[in-house]
Chain A
Amino acid sequence: MSAPDWEQLIFIAAVTAVAAPLLGRYLAATFRGTGASQNRAPGDRVFLPVERVVYRALRVDPESSWTWRGYALAVLAFGLLSTLALYLILRLQGLLPLNPTHAPGMSPLLSFKSAASFITGTNWQAYEGETQASYLAQMAGLVVAQFTAGAIGLAVALAVVRGISGSARTIGNFWVDLTRSLVRVYIPLSVAGALVLVSQGAVQNFSGFRTATTLAGGTQQIPGGPVSSMEVIKLLGTNGGSFYGAGGAHPFENPNGFSNMFDLLLVIVLPFAIAIMFGRLIGRKRQGYAIVAVMAIIFLGHTVVSMQAEGHGNQLLPASVSQVASGGNPGGNMEGKETVFGPGGSALMTVGTMGTTAGATDSALDSYTPVGGAGAFVGILLGEISPGGDGGGLYSILVFSLLAVFVAGLMVGRTPEFLGKKIRAPQMKLVIAYALTIPIVVLVFGSVSLVLGAGTRSILNPGMHGLSEVMYAFASVANNNGSAFAGLSANTPWYDTTLGLVMLVGRFVPIVLALAIAGSLAGARVHARTRATLDTSGPTFGVFLLGVIVIVGGLIYFPMLILGPIGERFVG
């Protein structure tokens, strides 16, 4: 890694260290209590009247609070409705207005996969945004899904926190949580963020393609579109789906070194802030920071390894091609990377978002070195908790924390306890189901794809790299990441169907299980802390949690990593 690479990393760490606690404090003030007449929150004068209109239109009583079953049903009902609506928009976009690029309707399977993909926050894209999605579909379909995906994650996290720590048997009201998240967090931050991106050169217009006469006398189509407004919520909502095919590598989405780092901050600051909010909401700030520390260590792990590998370059290229960084040459592995980002900046932004459900890329992951690509793989496989999707990162790491106190409890022979509540068999069954759901679907669907012609025909790169392409696809969609080793041609009946299904399972099964765990703990007696209580906010627990995450989350995939990136590193 060159000196500017380190400087960019330190910049990201410093800005996050300042911004996340501030935002976390704001979130905690906003989401304290249940129901709408929670304690007074900042900005009530502006936001409260808007929210009251929403509650009246929805005919919900904002003061009501539900059991976990009611909450989960509302999430599922809203997910189903949104999926259907988005499916229809994508199918019919050719007939609908606001389509200056004349995109035809998507095929049924592609519409299904794309709808599932955006509703679950996965944002895997098997279409070219420039020509295969209309402006209307992008604005009124995909962007709306991106807002709700982020807000649903945050809402579920709030409900889980109430269940795990609260004394009430109910865990909140989904419509209230969703509304408040959108009105008080996502919409204001998105408008401001979009303007910052436009100021750097990201486009925002409705002009369709413009034809330019190039200097050499040829022609070039200049694309347009409401790009910045999508780019910002793609990142802020940890979604990852871009307006254009090339995603964050496209200069019209991510034009320069500043916007590249700004993009990364849009992704990671909010999930860190949500963890800090958790500590404040339960009245134990240290607990929040213990979780932040575990998240940050994993984030630095996979990101720095990847930056190092990409900066080092592709060892298989001839020595006469200069891969050593100097003032006039970015050096490193530049295939699939933009000059202005360089290898280190590209890996920082791309792999930095792999521990979240964003999976937003500014470079082509398929062309990463084996070690660089493995960094992205690891971020996803550890369950996306570094720092995780909006809300998703928090409830995932809380489930891992329950597992950690259980294992620790077994070791010392005490009934495990988290935040004063005893963890017993019913909770542990749900925790185990949560921890196994995603590995099972990844490994089963991935392995089947590797023995079926329908699966292997889509592979672009030969050998071990091809295995990585397939396994990465399932790992990515099951964790709702959405980044890809994009050489894989995933718009085939086999991949449209399986990837679409895996996304839905990977999103809604963990949500229901997390809510069920919260529900089973809601109202449980809170035991006073004694000297014998295992401290869950100190370094000992942090290291222990880290170990549980690596062993439970990582080891299950180890054979696959040996056959994929690790093998490629040593053979290739």
Chain B
Amino acid sequence: MRRHFLAGTVMLLGLTLVLGFGYPLLVTGLSALLFRHQADGSLVYRGGKLAGSSLLSQSFTDSEGNPMPRYFQPRPSDAGSGYDGADSGASNLGPSNALLIGFVPGVNTVGLDGRPSAANPFATRADPACVPTDPKGNPVTSPTPGQRYARNPDGSYVCDPSTVPERAIAYRTFNGLPASASVPIDAVTASGSGLDPDISVQNAMDQAPRVARARHLPAHQVTSLVHRYTQGRQWGFLGEPTVNVLDLNLALDRLR
């Protein structure tokens, strides 16, 4: 046994040296020689200053946290408090969780007394799946009889804004789409990393008229820019077609 421990110790020290230091340094050196831009993180500069990475989504919100109409908006994010490059991650909400899908009768709907219910007592006209919030803005998925709720001026419940039905409503309002318009799924769901740099082509096309209005540009100029920044499937079948939000927004800013 002592023999094994001796050999094991030498092996481990050697491997730490060779695999722990030599190997990553070799790969780093070769990468710097061959693929410098990628190895550095596909960084994007504007006016000489680091503006982000083509591979990481960033938020396009004003100082009050509202999405800026003049920029294409990325997908919702659950990385930290949103688009946090130091805290990648997903919502991990299950497919029947009320925080994701809202209250769906027969699945997760709960009455004011906290018991399963056949109808959603918090439904509003705009959102039949409404999940109410408490006065602090936290969603309430298991109501109790004494629970207090946040209300709108008209008396209706304030709904948790991050369920898919609520995000769909906000997306239509923001982009001036009719209430019947179908919303692309990627626009109302968070990605696995929370840093998804891409949106779907349909999502970009739905946003294009709004961006054109905010920038006083002809609509066709913005849509043709979207087409130019649409990445098809690699080799025709690998992955999905995408539009890179940061690259597209940088191109928009350059139009001036």
Contact = CB atoms under 8 A, between A and B. Distances in A.
A141 B20 CA distance: 7
Given A82-B12, A246-B88, A326-B202, A335 B60 contact: no
Interface in A431-490: 460-463, 465, 485-487
B228 interface: no
Interface stretch (B39-47, B132-140, B151-159, B214-222): B39-47
Interface in B1-53: 1, 4-12, 14-16, 19-21, 23-24, 26-28, 30-32, 34-35, 38-43, 46, 49-53
Contact of B86 (A11, A59, A221): A221
B205 A252 contact: no
A226 B28 CA distance: 7
A47 interface: no
Contact of B94 (A4, A203, A465): A465
A212 B253 contact: no
Given A78-B8, A366-B93, A249 B190 contact: no
Contacts of B62: 216
B49 A213 contact: yes
Contacts of A217: 63
A335 B100 contact: yes
A37 interface: no
A160 B83 CA distance: 49
A367 B26 CA distance: 38
Contacts of A250: 88, 193, 195
B241 interface: yes
Interface string B177-193: 00011111110111111
Nearest to A50: B18
A199 interface: yes
B85 interface: yes
A260 B238 contact: yes
B40 A205 contact: yes
A568 interface: yes
Contacts of A546: none
Contacts of B9: 81
Contacts of B96: 316, 461, 463, 465, 568, 572
Question: Which one of A175, A182, A320, A486 has the greatest number of beta carbons of chain B within 10 Å?
Answer: A320
Contact of B93 (A204, A317, A369, A487): A487
Interface string A191-204: 10011001111111
Given A313-B185, A461-B93, A485-B92, A216 B40 contact: no
B185 A328 contact: no
Given A257-B240, A332-B185, A334-B186, A58 B55 contact: no
A364 B205 CA distance: 27
Contact of B182 (A130, A223, A321): A321
B79 interface: yes
Contacts of B203: 329
Given A78-B4, A216-B60, A486-B92, A339 B15 contact: no
A59 B192 contact: no
Contact of A81 (B8, B49, B95): B8
Interface stretch (A142-150, A289-297, A492-500, A504-512): A142-150
Interface in A138-164: 139-141, 143-144, 147-148
A220 B192 contact: no
Interface residues of B, number: 113
Nearest to A319: B182
A370 B31 CA distance: 41
B145 interface: no
Contacts of B199: 339
Contact count band on A: 35 or more
Nearest to B99: A461
A54 interface: yes
Interface in A328-358: 328-342, 345-346
Q: Chain A CB within 10 Å — which of B63, B90, B198 has the most?
A: B90
Contacts of B181: 320
A367 B40 contact: no
B16 A140 contact: yes
B28 A460 contact: no
A323 interface: yes
A206 to B, nearest CB: 7
Given A130-B88, A249-B90, A314-B95, A212 B192 contact: no
A558 B178 CA distance: 47
Contact of A321 (B183, B190, B234, B249): B183
A228 B31 contact: yes
Given A54-B14, A215-B51, A342-B239, A322 B201 contact: no
A216 B23 CA distance: 39
Contacts of B34: 195, 198-199
A257 B192 contact: no
A57 interface: yes
A107 interface: no
B200 to A, nearest CB: 5
A293 to B, nearest CB: 26
A251 B7 CA distance: 40
Contacts of A486: 90, 92
A213 to B, nearest CB: 6
Given A54-B14, A462-B108, 11 more contacts: A58-B11, A82-B8, A198-B35, A204-B27, A211-B50, A213-B51, A215-B249, A218-B58, A317-B185, A338-B198, A571-B107
Top 3 nearest A-B pairs (CB, nearest first) are A257-B239, A249-B192, A140-B20
